[in-house]
Amino acid sequence: MQDHHLSTYAAGLDTAGFTIIPDVFSAAAVDAMLTTIAGADQTGPNFRRTADLFAIRSFLQEVPAIAALVFSPALQQIVRQLLGEDYFLVKSIYFDKPGDSNWLVAWHQDLTISVAAKLPVPGYDRWSVKQEQYAVQPPADILESNYTIRIHLDDTDEQNGALKVLPGTHRKGIYRADSIDFGATPEVCCAVKKGGVMMMRPLLMHASGRSSNGHNRRVIHLEFSNRTLAGGLQWAERPA
């Protein structure tokens, strides 16, 4: 993967708030990831399984053998070239949406970050906790500087819950989904082939529908930042 090739994706990430890079991982690399996930001890509280969704929170900590596969030279180059040398991982989740899943996600922005402990810090509010992992809404400028990388382990289209996005909405700040003008900003379906990567800004308005084609939608969701949090707050998953 050449640097000049990656530069073609930078404009979309900046102006539209997302971009799709195909063939970042080979089929063999994806299969190796799936084998590693299947072999993990899935009894811990960060493993959630229902009829509609299987999820692993703190994914890289729960399945440490996956890190060498995920942070391939190609992905490391994407982070360096499109985000910056100073960006680091702050959150990781694995999602497996089965082919007959009725799980859908309404239009929303990703407004929270995961932190190691709850501390009273001005500008950080709307605290919540899941499986002993604290989430909080930080100041908007932190969300505006963060990025998400989604590694697709299956071919994904609108029939099995591909993300729908409203291009450019990451530039509108934080706002309510019920204020969306779909006439002014038509939705785009982000179809991604197995081994491809979707990159997006957290404030990009996005959603996903139910599955209708019987095919899984397995995704590794990684969040990156280059920011230090205020008041002693620490990112939950920043590598040591």
What is the DSSP pairing of strand 47-49 with strand 147-152? unpaired
**Residues with Cβ < 8 Å from 68, sequence gap 6 or more?**
none
8-state DSSP, 229? P
Residue ranges, the chain, pLDDT below 70:
1-4, 214
Residue 154: both structure tokens together:
């299956």
Give all strands of the β-sheet with 113-115 in edge-to-edge order.
113-115, 133-137, 125-130
Residue 52: both structure tokens together:
């509609």
Count of beta carbons in the 10 Å neighbourhood of residue 232: 9
d(CA 201, CA 236): 19
Residue 10: both structure tokens together:
């930078």
What local confidence, expressed as pLDDT, does residue 183 receive? Answer: 85
What local confidence, expressed as pLDDT, does residue 214 receive? Answer: 67
Yes or no: domain 3-225 corresponds to CATH 2.60.120.620: yes
What local confidence, expressed as pLDDT, does residue 129 receive? Answer: 92
